[in-house]
Structure 1
Amino acid sequence: MSERSLLDPPPPALKARFKEGFGQRALLTIDTEEEFDWSKPLAPTGHKVDHLLRIGKFQEFCEGIGVIPVYLVDWPVVSSGQAKDIFPPLVASGRAEIGVQLHPWVNPPQREAVTAHNSFAGNLPPDLEQEKFDNLVDAIEQNLGVSPLIYRAGRYGVGSQTASILKQRGIAIDTSVRPHHDYSEEGGPDFSRHPDYPYWTDEQRSLLEIPLTTCYWGMLRKQGATLQPLVQKFPGLGGALARTGMLERIPLTPEGTTKEEAIRCIDIALDDGLELLVLSLHSPSLVPGHTPYVRNEDDLDALYDWLRAVYGYFDLRGVKPTSVGEIMHQVEV
């Protein structure tokens, strides 16, 4: 039987089902990565991870709202002294989980040119993608004492062989798919036709995909997948559709999404019967000045306020926080 690619939307028969009583849950994922200037070309060296010192405060906040965050760590993070001090105690006590995030431009071996095209790991020769991935997983196991079960490609850059590479190392869950987004103009994947719900990537049910939650909202939301290419082609169209309440694409993240937008997305997702919502943010946003979303302390306060409001709304709607371990225990194989 041929290997299915993460680039291809799944057939409906591969939709994942959860055991009775799972209900509707939410998973918080953190792209835990180096600090870099998002407005400049990517560079393979010279990156810092000083913001990891704020992980303690963020972790306390998560524990206060009953959330087990999943830190998806990349090479500069896992090879730092800070990571070795911060993450093992959190994992050992069950307060956090660790996953994998591959940023190929900072991950050894660095045999490729650092370009936008090559920043999507799935565009690399499969043997190089695998070698980088194996080096990263080896470092996580050695430095953090964890055998990770979940993966996200940096820039969501999966390729035709990524699923096979993940399964060879025992990765059980991929969370690289960002539905309703198309990165093909940059050389990346097109997820515009991928579903929001969790699904198996293969008939053997050996790799589970849990997409990042993105909703279409508005009168034309059922036509969102058809209209999105036009929105990308004509930048002013998206703003006009959103202002008139016709169509808005809402990713479930505090980075660029307001509390009000997030709650609209949650309502749509839950009313559509989505069992697992996946939230995301970037760890450098925990310190002002590292991402476009958090430029000052007011922005940082707003990020925490967003999380507080969203998880408060989850509580009202009966949505419980979940973890990678629980997902693997509750999904029906």
Structure 2
Amino acid sequence: MSQPKTSPPPPGSRARFASDFGRRVILTVDTEEEFDWSGPFTRDRHGLDHLPRLRNFQEFCEGLGVVPSYLVDWPIATSALAKDILATPLANGRAEVGIQLHPWVNPPFEEEVNERNSFAGNLPPDIERAKFLRLRDAIAENFGVSPQLYRAGRYGFGPATAELLREAGVGVDTSFRPLFDYSDRHGPDYSGYPLEPFWLDGEMSVLELPLTTVYWGMLRRQGRLLHPMISRMPRMSGVFAKLGLLERIPLTPEGTSIDEAIRALDMALDDRLPLIVLSFHSPSLAPGYTSYVETDADLDALYDWFRAVYAYLGQHGVKPTSVAEIMRSVET
């Protein structure tokens, strides 16, 4: 029997920031184990071989004046090496740590391991809550900080997640991926959600920072209507993009070229987004663990992507920010 699809809550009121906040950019890193993205989910077939590369990446970010937000899941949260690498940057405010829930590797292990249950928001609320609290407490114990940012792994925010965050005192979420629909895999449909930060509830207790994806092209204003239709025909999507009619561009170095990213930034700047949210997965910091970085040249290209993006944003007055600064600047 098919199970009912769960959905994230409807968007609340748009968030407003202090007048001196300006326009900002934040970098989020899905800091997670290596596993086979094309294979079935498993409790134990994963690795952490790329973790030493976090040290290099953190030094790179500090050189750019960027405070990365590392969204760590259970294997990272319980890793002594991750603690050793991140302890000093976290203590000095040069990095932040948040929560990322991968249910299939996060105790307690009570649910069946399958694709539907890989979205934490699909789990029974008591199981989602138990996993989340175990992870939050492990992060606090290992890293010595109280995480204030959450991302559901695979963007799997569910109907009970907002209340869970409120109860746990986690004030910021970044699980929503506007313009993407995961319902064909039992996940949420974010295709109709706004790109601007918004409150998840009327109490203004949980702030949503959607990942930044934009439509580019002559038909971009009609993108929310047209793209879901043409995306069902992969060849048509390519034709529309090649002709400059319509292209969906997520702001990540994974699968998005520098030229595409610059076009997307132009759209975000044109739409006057107050906050741009960049993201990628930590296993891409070493060749061979994701399809996006298979060689040393690919890794060099990832770093070049960040250099180009931050340089372009700097030219347009968009400064890096952090979760701590966002929480101080948002008006409630």
TM-score (norm 1): 0.96
Task: Give the deviation of 1:268 after TM superposition.
Answer: 0.8
Percent same amino acid at aligned positions? 59
Task: Give the deviation of 1:232 after TM superposition.
Answer: 3.0
Unaligned stretches of 5+ in structure 1?
none
1:21 alignment partner in structure 2: 20
1:293 alignment partner in structure 2: 292
Q: Which AA in structure 1 matches 2:74?
A: W
Q: State the distance in 2 between where 1:328 and 1:101 align.
A: 19
2:238 alignment partner in structure 1: 239
- Match of 2:99, SS state, is strand
Q: CA RMSD in A?
A: 1.1
Task: Give the deviation of 1:135 after TM superposition.
Answer: 0.4
Q: Which runs of 4+ in 1 moved over 2 A?
A: none
Contact kept in structure 1, 2:7 and 2:188, CA below 8 Å: no
Q: State the distance in 2 between where 1:8 and 1:166 align.
A: 13
1:6-63 per-position Cα deviation (integer Å, ceiling 9, x unaligned):
713425xx00011011111000000000001112111111321121101111011101
Q: State the distance in 2 between where 1:298 and 1:196 align.
A: 32
2:141 alignment partner in structure 1: 142
1:133 alignment partner in structure 2: 132
1:181 alignment partner in structure 2: 180
2:100 alignment partner in structure 1: 101
1:198 alignment partner in structure 2: 197
2:116 alignment partner in structure 1: 117
Contact kept in structure 1, 2:90 and 2:97, CA below 8 Å: yes
2:217 alignment partner in structure 1: 218
Q: State the distance in 2 between where 1:228 and 1:123 align.
A: 26
1:259 alignment partner in structure 2: 258
Q: State the distance in 1 between where 2:133 and 2:221 align.
A: 40
Change (3 A) 1:240 1:9: farther
Q: State the distance in 2 between where 1:6 and 1:189 align.
A: 5
Contact kept in structure 1, 2:71 and 2:97, CA below 8 Å: yes
Task: Give the deviation of 1:108 after TM superposition.
Answer: 0.3
Q: Which AA in structure 2 matches 1:262?
A: A
Q: State the distance in 2 between where 1:267 and 1:8 align.
A: 30
Contact kept in structure 2, 1:6 and 1:201, CA below 8 Å: no
Task: Give the deviation of 1:231 after TM superposition.
Answer: 2.5
Change (3 A) 1:6 1:21: farther
Give aligned pairs, total.
327
Contact kept in structure 2, 1:149 and 1:173, CA below 8 Å: yes
Q: Which AA in structure 1 matches 2:215?
A: Y
Q: State the distance in 2 between where 1:154 and 1:59 align.
A: 22
Q: State the distance in 1 between where 2:218 and 2:235 align.
A: 18
Q: Which AA in structure 1 matches 2:80?
A: G
Task: Give the deviation of 1:228 after TM superposition.
Answer: 2.2
1:92-136 per-position Cα deviation (integer Å, ceiling 9, x unaligned):
011100000000000001111111110000000000000000000
Q: Which AA in structure 1 matches 2:57?
A: F
Contact kept in structure 1, 2:7 and 2:189, CA below 8 Å: no
Unaligned stretches of 5+ in structure 2?
1-5
Q: State the distance in 1 between where 2:267 and 2:146 align.
A: 35
1:49-101 per-position Cα deviation (integer Å, ceiling 9, x unaligned):
12110111101110111100000000011111212211221110111000000
Q: Which AA in structure 2 matches 1:8?
A: P
2:8 alignment partner in structure 1: 7
Contact kept in structure 1, 2:170 and 2:206, CA below 8 Å: yes
1:259-304 per-position Cα deviation (integer Å, ceiling 9, x unaligned):
1111111111111110100000100000000011000100000000
1:317 alignment partner in structure 2: 316
- Match of 2:184, SS state, is helix
Contact kept in structure 2, 1:9 and 1:195, CA below 8 Å: no
Q: State the distance in 2 between where 1:147 and 1:48 align.
A: 26
Q: State the distance in 1 between where 2:147 and 2:307 align.
A: 28
1:79 alignment partner in structure 2: 78
Q: Which AA in structure 2 matches 1:65?
A: L
Q: Which AA in structure 2 matches 1:28?
A: L
- Match of 1:158, SS state, is coil
- Match of 2:175, SS state, is coil
TM-score (norm 2): 0.97
Q: Which AA in structure 1 matches 2:11?
A: P
2:3 alignment partner in structure 1: none
Q: State the distance in 1 between where 2:23 and 2:122 align.
A: 35
Q: Which AA in structure 1 matches 2:329?
A: Q
Q: State the distance in 2 between where 1:247 and 1:305 align.
A: 26
Q: State the distance in 2 between where 1:60 and 1:86 align.
A: 11
Contact kept in structure 2, 1:9 and 1:193, CA below 8 Å: no
